[in-house]
Amino acid sequence: MTDDVRAGKPRVVLGVGGGIAAYKSASLLRLLTESGHDVTVVPTRAALEFVGAATWAALSGHPVNTDLWTGAHEVPHVRIGQHADLVIVAPATADLLAKAAHGLADDLLTNTLLTARCPVVFAPAMHTEMWEHPATQANVGTLRSRGALVIEPAAGRLTGADTGPGRLPEPEEIFEVCRRILARGVAGLVPDLVGHRVLVTAGGTREPLDPVRFVGNRASGRQGYALARTAVTRGAEVVLVAANTELADPAGVKVVPVTTTAQLRDAVLAEAAVADAIVMAAAIADFRPETYHDKKIKKVDDSWAPTVQLVQNPHVLRELTAHRVRTGQIIVGFAAETGDADRNAIEVGRDKLGRYGVDLLVVNEVGTDKAFGSPDNEAVIFDAAGGQTVVGYGPKEALADRIWDLVVAALARSP
């Protein structure tokens, strides 16, 4: 590929470590190239035992080298890293993490890591015992302290019969991390949530009436998942309490699935004690049926309908703000509104700022074709001091990043 053809495309280096999960990186490579990225693949020698050089060359459109001597006149061990907009290592083995943490450079990939001045992302994959070993955790801590983004591995089936933390996240989710970092541009160089634990809620709770019916809402969870994904790209340790969503688990996120408001409350209170910031993006049902019928409610005749008595659910957000368990904890609420006879949705939502006692309140108008289920959103973010930030209509990731901008600023001011 000529320089003219490559001009204007984000330049990504895909480093591939020698683990069985290397086969998944072929899918990641295709996602990157098909979305307009210029990708140079730098596998280790061990990686080529799992996926051959011909595969990487065919999918990337570039020759594939692993040694320092091929094309030495072009100084590849320096040039590849210098010219990259992003380096992603997937899978990152325990050996690769150790070499990167200690600055070892015995092949083309480890040399590239030393010369890169762009965002560097590691997606670890290894057996649970290797991931949890103190040496690996120390290496991960070192890399994070230097500004690298090390994604938490997924939990699940490993090689053989083993299961546990250490599984490579799905390629689509690693791609989302890469996309978000590149979209942030220069800001992506600084993972400003490193060292912070954040808790996000997403989706909509459902309150069962009988085994087949429930009281619920239209929330899809997309905004909460966008908040979780963007927090990962900014270096946070993320827990996502997800209510009734059908979305793939974001890479590097601990997902706690729930159904009802009571379950969401229990999960949030359990995680709140260690969270530096809490963003309550889930649409929590205000009411639940007073009586649950353990058998399906049958239609008696064509003119009969049951009377359903509703009772109020606990107000989880108010409970969090009334009993903050950590000094300096930042709590963000969401108010999804439709307005009333006298005021628009934003005006109605703003009134909740003082009642909720939150640090930030995100107010957005919802409806059949607004916000719920859409990839886009718009909102006004109010702060406790009376300021407001208007976020125009656009991708939910953009709103998520703006919310984290304000959270980062608030954390910097907190004691």
Q: Tell me: the pLDDT tens digits for 57-109? A: 999 999 898 765 565 545 455 788 888 999 999 999 999 999 999 999 999 99
Confidence of residue 369 (pLDDT cuts 50, 70, 90): low
Q: Is 344 a catalytic residue?
A: no
CA separation for the pair 217, 282 (Å, rounded): 10
Same CATH topology for 3-189 and 197-413: the answer is yes
* Residue position matching structure tokens 């969503």: 245
Confidence of residue 21 (pLDDT cuts 50, 70, 90): very high
φ, ψ (nearest 5 deg) of residue 16: -125, 120
CATH class of 3-189: alpha beta
Q: Which fold has domain 197-413?
A: Rossmann fold (3.40.50)
| 257 close to 276: Cβ distance less than 8 angstroms | no
Q: Structure pTM?
A: 0.89
Confidence of residue 410 (pLDDT cuts 50, 70, 90): very high
Confidence of residue 296 (pLDDT cuts 50, 70, 90): very high
- 3-state secondary structure at position 144: helix
pLDDT at 1 (0 to 100):
37
pLDDT at 75 (0 to 100):
47
CA separation for the pair 295, 298 (Å, rounded): 9
Where exactly are the structural domains of the chain?
3-189, 197-413
Sequence letter at residue 177: V
φ, ψ (nearest 5 deg) of residue 330: -100, 130
| 408 close to 402: Cβ distance less than 8 angstroms | no
Which one is catalytic: 217, 244, 313, 364?
A: 217
Cα–Cα–Cα angle for 109, 112, 116, nearest 5°? 145
Nearest to 195 by CA among 133, 144, 146, 250: 144
| Range 157-175 average pLDDT | 86
